[in-house]
Amino acid sequence: MFSKSKINDPIDAPKADDVKPTVPTAPKSSAPAAAPKPKPSPSVLASDLTIKGNLETTGDIQIEGTVEGDIIHKTIAIESGAHFEGSVQRNDDPLSTGNSAPPQLPPMMDGN
């Protein structure tokens, strides 16, 4: 009678049918991922409000009412159908101290 020697066989070795391939996974971080902060809602000026003076903010403003005076801005959006009268000036840092007054334009030359 002939039998296979068990000297080279591991005692609890899994059979070929029982082996499943493993997929490497990224190591888990102990700290949770920081969720991006949501953009805050704009401040809304009601339609029955009139402001005379300066407004300063680093956030967004939605103006439904009336603001008297010129606008110095980094970005601006004026909706279709909105009524705008005045001047706007783009500036990368509109809140800097050098922009407290609108720029003075040179007098118009009449060509005479």
Q: Does 90 or 15 have the greater pLDDT score?
A: 90
Number of H helices, E strands in the chain: 0, 6
Phi then psi dihedrals of residue 106, to 5 deg: -65, 150
The overall average pLDDT reported for the chain is 74
Considering the entire predicted model, what is its pTM?
Answer: 0.48
Terminal-residue alpha carbon distance, the chain:
127
Reference 93, options 78, 62, 72; nearest CA is 72
The reported pLDDT for the residue numbered 18 is 57
Q: pLDDT tens, 78-98?
A: 889 888 888 889 999 888 855
AA identity, residue 111: G
Q: Judge whether residue 37 has pLDDT over 70.
A: yes
Closest CA to 69 of 48, 44, 89, 42: 89
Residue 105 is which amino acid? L
Q: How confident is the model at residue 108 (pLDDT cuts 50, 70, 90)?
A: low
The full set of domain ranges for the chain reads 43-95
